[in-house]
Copies of this chain bind each other. A is one copy, B any other.
Amino acid sequence: MVDNRLDTVFHALADPTRRGMLASLALGEKSVGELAEPFAMTLAGASKHVKVLEDAGLLSRRKAGRTHVIRLEAGPLAEAERWLKQWEKFWNVRLDRLQALVESDKKKESPNG
């Protein structure tokens, strides 16, 4: 079922642990253990999250001795962002509408201020 690239990326992003790992990787390369550390979870559990992110193409790893050095790969994030950007005009319309409501409320509340 999870086949498309957007499927796997959005699915990977739909979990707070995994988003936290990405945030951690934004600060620099990390080992799997370092990625796991902030979360109340076994290393094996964290390792599975890392694999989900890797399968989505969101990170890459190289082995250095017995540790795996993980780095962020932002390409798929850009792809997802591009997809979302498509909808900008729709939320702009909404925000305009909201703004208009706010303005008309202001007038009602203080017609002379």
User: Which A residues are closer than 8 A to B by beta carbons?
Assistant: 1-2, 4, 6-8, 10-11, 13-16, 19, 22, 26, 72-75, 77-78, 80-81, 84-85, 87-88, 90-91, 93-94
Question: How distant is A40 from chain B, measured CB to nearest CB, in Å?
Answer: 14
In the assembled complex, the Cα of A78 lies from the Cα of B73 at a distance in Å of: 23
Is the pair A10, B14 in contact by a Cβ cutoff of 8 Å?
yes
For the complex formed, measure the closest distance between the CB of A14 and the CB atoms of chain B, giving whole angstroms: 4
Q: Give the distance in Å from the alpha carbon of A37 to the alpha carbon of B78 in the complex.
A: 31
Given contacts A4-B16, A6-B19, A10-B14, whether A26 and B90 have CB atoms under 8 Å apart is yes
Q: Is the CB of B16 within 8 A of A7?
A: yes
